[in-house]
Amino acid sequence: MTVTDELLANAERYAASFDKGSLPLPPAKHVAVVACMDARLSPYGILGLSEGDAHVIRNAGGVITADELRSLAISQRLLGTTEIILIHHTDCGMLTFTDDEFKSAIERETGIRPPWAPEAFTDLDADVRQSIRRITEDPFIPIKTSIRGFVYEVETGKLREVR
């Protein structure tokens, strides 16, 4: 029995008490959140989001790569979101290595160097700021009036805005 099997039992319980079948496709709050995949960071918990409220985009670091720009373009152009919230967090795994180290370790093991940047960073606030700039400089995202970035503190549960 895998953990996946355990989680599927939870999914059956979720379906058994499900009452949200009539929610519309576009997010009710017109917000897209981009956050780190970290297990301790729940955008639902932190921001008080419920099913139907917001697009939630996540990856290692909460960084902005081509795929997040794709998702944000689709979110705004097809589904009407107008505000973007970025969330990095303290004690992030991305602070524990360098891109060169990680790529070299993989190359030593597999004989192939990854063609992508791992996107490690050393300064949380600086990476939030440059992530925002990756969005503001993108030609395909139409609405840039509310793009705000935050650091979530996993130790305290607090969300701190990066200025």
Q: Binding-site residue total for its own copies (CB under 8 A)?
A: 88
Nearer to its own copies, 79 or 125 (CB): 79
Q: How far is CA 19 from CA 23, 51, 60, in A?
A: 10, 11, 32
Q: Does 39 bind its own copies (CB under 8 A)?
A: yes
Q: Does 128 bind its own copies (CB under 8 A)?
A: no
**Distance spanning both ends of the chain, measured CA to CA:** 47
Q: Does 122 bind its own copies (CB under 8 A)?
A: no
Q: Which of 88, 100, 108, 116 binds its own copies (CB under 8 A)?
A: 116
Cα 144 from Cα 138, distance rounded (Å)? 10
Q: Does 149 bind its own copies (CB under 8 A)?
A: no
Q: Does 162 bind its own copies (CB under 8 A)?
A: no
Cα 153 from Cα 18, distance rounded (Å)? 32
Q: Which of 27, 121, 124, 127 binds its own copies (CB under 8 A)?
A: 27
Q: Rule CB under 8 A: which of 70-89 touch its own copies?
A: 70-71, 73-75, 77-79, 83, 85
Buried b (16+ CB within 10 A) or exposed e, 63-82: bbeeebbebbeebbeeeebe
